[in-house]
Every structure is written in structure tokens, then in C-alpha cells.
Amino acid sequence: MRRRDFIYLTGMGAGAMMLPGMNALAKTIDPLQALEGVDAKIKKELADVALNTAKSNGASYADVRIGRYLNQFVVTRENKVLNVANTESYGIGIRVIANGCWGFAATNDVTKEGMAKTALKAVAVAKANAKIGGAPVQLAPQKGYGEVSWKTPLTKNAFEVPIKEKVDLLLNANGIAMAGGANFVNSIMFAVNEQKYFASTDGSYIDQDVHRLYPSFTVTKIDPTAGSFETRRSLSSPVGMGYEYLDPLATEKVLGVTPRYKKRYDMLEDIKFATQQAGDKLKAKSVEPGKYDLVLDPSHLWLTIHESVGHPTELDRVLGYEANFAGTSFLTLDKWKSGNFKFGSDAVNIVGDKTQVGSLGAVGYDDEGVQCKKWDIIKNGVLVNYQAIRDQAHIIGLNESQGCCYSQSWQDVQFQRMPNVSLQPGKNPLSVDEMIKNVEKGVYIIGDGSFSIDQQRYNFQFGGQLFYEIKEGKIAGMLNDVAYQANTQEFWNSCAKVCDERDYRLGGAFNDGKGQPSQSSAVSHGASTALFKGVNVINTKRKIG
């Protein structure tokens, strides 16, 4: 398990003991009905109380989010179940503009009285903020949608699948690893359901039911003679899907070295490969430092996209409003205004997209009631846009928000969060095999690993999970101790080719951190396998001097 996943998941488990109770909800509806979620009619009545209270007390704009957030964790190690935990949080968040400033307040008192009191508090916060001064908030126009709804397309709700079925799958996977010689193995199933109701003074009443799933494992093998160990994590991608994601279908093999998963994930097949590959890594030769052509699988490339494209094109980082979790951005407004800043080669086309089915970021409407969309960020290598929300749109001349506002819960204020940011497939037919056949000296990298990036999202270093040497167009064997270094502009300008849409796959992060106080969001990044020419590769075990 990656450090960021461990911290996030254990934090969620600890947080389960401190979640607000449901007693206040019982004042509004029958307790049994609370377990099934609140009827949209009741939500609308509650929301209208907050909106009317805010408007009658000086707010020029107000929005309300009524949220029920469910999480389920099933955690195993070897032949044992370590933990099964369910968390539930329910409450309201109210955001207003009064005297040109934002104000926000939240409560778990989900009654009409609670809504009114919280709306008054939000207005008071806004008026207090206005006394400090500053430019008034400018919201991009937004039409009201009336009463609409959206739900993650799924055929099997993960929360309706018996715990035993999940435990059996994880323990079966662990058993395959142990039978294959693994010294340690842990596996986890993490399911999320966000039931979100949004209402605003623009006239929108939006009911959404969002589902995500993340199955994962880590296999470890030890070489007692050398005193070393190697791991291989699952190549699953967290997804915006139901439990149908784990219904195994036939998968392709990537040059015979590992499975390629697209819309379904066979955990048992993956862990069988992983156990063998963890052992192979113990025997793999150490890489010779130098310049290599890199063939990067989507299971690896998603993280490079996330860190070197996703974060630096967040407009609040560009403007210097946000600097948490690795700083601001080198992609300053002057580069965008020039109209010809070559972020990458002509092969690089990157979009923001909150609509892609199966992705972590897919919703119908964002957390300020904007219908989600797809737009160009990098077009033929040129920086053409950023990621913006309603109060940022005017800064870059947009007439509407791009729909990428999000809050991790009802009690946190929504703000600009990364949409799915994806590298578009190449337009000409090209398979992975064909790409590798034209590489004389290269490294093929599968799976994400450790990384480091500077405070401007410019200079970076990335590792991975599996590394294969390419010699004269053929896979020559496994390598180890590989990482590559570059700066963002140099790296993306070295992109020579991208495989076509047949190879397109999603990767992603279940817990992308941002803000202070920090919030976490889930986001996917799609790509087809891509070729990068002449990238500096280092040996991570060799000491300098």
C-alpha cells in the first residue's frame, strides 16, 4: 500500500469514531427512512428554508449542499481479516455571497430550524469577511436547471454485495500469492457512495448518487541471502463504477509480461502475475544510467500526468492562491496569453473531462451546480486553457465555469479541484508492439511508483513498478532501480508518439490532497501508451561520490 493510501485510509478509519450522529436527522424523518436516504421532496423543502433565509438577510447568492457520505473498508493480510469498517456522515453545508464576499457554515442539525440558523451564520461570516476588504466576488453566469438528477452508471451496488463475498475474494487473492511464494501480502476493498443534493438561488435542485470502488493489494517477496525484498502492487485502477468492475472478463497481455485491464479487473489473475514479478524483480539487473527512450504504460503515465499536467493547470495554483501539497505553478498567465507556449510536442493533446463514464471524477454536475463538460487544456502541444470554477472564470475570459468545483463532505467548503485530466490517444493506428519495435535503446515502464516534483511543478523524478529493457525493438529482460528525471516542458516536448484509442486506459488517485484545511478528492487520468525520446534515466541504488 502506498504511503498516501495508508495515511488516507487509516485516517478515514479513525475518523469513523468521531462522525456526527444521526439524532438530528430523526427530527425530520423516520429513522428507518434515514438509512435509505432522504426523499428529494424533503431535501428541497429544507434547502428552500436555507436559500430564503440567506436571501432575506442580505445574501446576493446562496447554495446549499445536503450530503450523505458512506465509506466501506475491508482489509486483509495473508489469511486474516484485519478490519471491516463502515462510516456514515450526514449534514448540510451552506455557502453565500453577502456584501461581495463568501461566507460558509455547516451543521448536522438537518431540520428546518437547523437550516435557518446555519444560513444566518453563513451570512454573518460573509459580512464579517467583507469588512476586511478586497475585490468583490464575480460569479460566472449560471442558469438554473430546475429539478434534475444524476447517478453513476452501475449494475451492482458495492454496498449491497455481502461482506463475505468481498472477504472471500481478498483472501482467495492472498492465498494465490502465498501459494506462489510471497512472504507477505495485504489486500483491501474500499467503496464510496456520495449522496449529494445541491440547491441554489439560481434555481437548481440537483440530486446525485455517486459511486466509486478501489480494490488493491501489495505482494512482497524476500531474498534472505541478499537481505533484500521487492514488492508489486495491484495494477487495478480505482474507478467510478459499481462492483461489476470485479466481474472478470478476458484481458489482453502486454507483450506477455502483465495483463492489460480496461473496463473490468481480474484481481486473481493480477495477483498471480504480481507474485511472479515480485520474485523476478529480486533477480533483475540494475539499470545503467543514461539517456533512454521511454515507453510508458497508462498504469504508470497517469501519475506523471497528474503531477506535471493536472496540478500545474489548476488556475488557483497559477494565480498563487493555492500552494499546499507541492506549491504553485510555472504555467503563469503570460504563457497562456501568448497563445503559442509549447507545453509539449504536437502529439500532446490533453483535456479536462468530468463526463467520462467509469472515471473517478465523473458526475453530472459539480458542487456549485454547474453541468460538467469536456474541454481542451493542451492542444497540439500548446497551452490553451486551465481549470476554473465560477468565481475564477472571468480571470481567463470565460463566460461560464468549467464545472470542476468539489468538496469532500458536507462540512467542508467547495473549491476548485482537478477534473479528470487525460492524454488523448494518437490519431493514427499504433499498437504497443509496433511502438516497441521501433525503439533501439529504451525502457518500458508499467505501474506507478515514487515521485518527487518541485514547488513550481517543473523539475521532477518518477519511478515505477515494473521495468523492462528494450534492445533493438525487443524486450530484453527485466530491469530494476529505475527512475527518470526531466522538467515538465522538456519531458512533454519529447513525446514522439501515442498509441491509438484501442490502448486507452484509466488510472487514478482515490485521495488527491489539496487545500488548508486539507481536503481529498478522487480523480482519473486516461492515456494510451506513449513514447518519450531521450529521457535521462538514473539508477536509484547507486550512491554519488
CATH number of the domain located at residue range(s) 3-159+183-213 in this protein: 3.30.2290.10
Question: Residue 170: helix, strand or coil by DSSP?
Answer: helix
Q: Round to whole Å and give the CA distance between 450 and 458.
A: 16
Q: What are the cell numbers at 410?
A: 458536507
Question: Please, are residues 400 and 370 in contact by the beta-carbon 8 Å criterion?
Answer: yes
Residue 34: which pLDDT band, with cuts at 50, 70 and 90? very low
Q: What is the pLDDT of residues 266-288, one digit of tens each?
A: 999 999 999 999 999 999 999 99
Residue 543: which pLDDT band, with cuts at 50, 70 and 90? low
Q: Round to whole Å and give the CA distance between 213 and 209.
A: 14
Residue 110: which pLDDT band, with cuts at 50, 70 and 90? very high
Q: What is the pLDDT of residues 280-320, one digit of tens each?
A: 999 999 999 999 999 999 999 999 999 999 999 999 999 99
Give the rounded distance of the alpha carbon of 389 from its chain centre: 18
Q: Is the pLDDT of residue 72 over 50?
A: yes
- DSSP code string of 423-482: EPPPSS---HHHHHHT-SEEEEEES---EEE-TTS-EEEE--SEEEEEETTEEEEEEESE
Q: Using alpha carbons, list the distances in angstroms from residue 257 to 78, 158, 287, 495.
A: 25, 31, 18, 24
Q: What is the pLDDT of residues 42-62, one digit of tens each?
A: 999 999 999 999 999 999 999
Query: Residue 239 is which amino acid?
Result: V
**Residue in 140, 133, 96, 92 with CA at minimum distance from that of residue 115:** 92
Q: What are the cell numbers at 359?
A: 472515471
Q: Is the pLDDT of residue 416 over 50?
A: yes
Q: What percent of the chain has pLDDT over 90?
A: 87
Q: 412-431 as b/e, with b when 16 or more CB fall inside 10 Å?
A: bbbbbbbbbbbbbbbeeebe
Query: Which residues is 63 bridged to in the sheet?
Result: 95, 200
Residue located via cell numbers 481480474: 266
Q: Is the pLDDT of residue 74 over 90?
A: yes
What is the number of other CB atoms lying within 10 angstroms of the CB of residue 150?
17
Please report, for the chain, the start and end positions of each structural domain, with discontinuous segments joined by +: 3-159+183-213, 290-539
Q: What are the cell numbers at 64?
A: 446549499
Q: Is the pLDDT of residue 238 over 50?
A: yes
Residue 29: which pLDDT band, with cuts at 50, 70 and 90? very low
Q: Round to whole Å and give the CA distance between 432 and 422.
A: 18
Q: Round to whole Å and give the CA distance between 167 and 172.
A: 8
Query: Which residues is 122 bridged to in the sheet?
Result: none
What are the φ and ψ backbone dihedral angles of 216, each rounded to 5 degrees? Answer: -155, 155
pLDDT at 218: 98
Residue 325: which pLDDT band, with cuts at 50, 70 and 90? confident
Q: Round to whole Å and give the CA distance between 234 and 265.
A: 10
Question: Please, are residues 245 and 264 in contact by the beta-carbon 8 Å criterion?
Answer: yes
The residue length of the chain stands at 545
Q: Round to whole Å and give the CA distance between 521 and 514.
A: 8
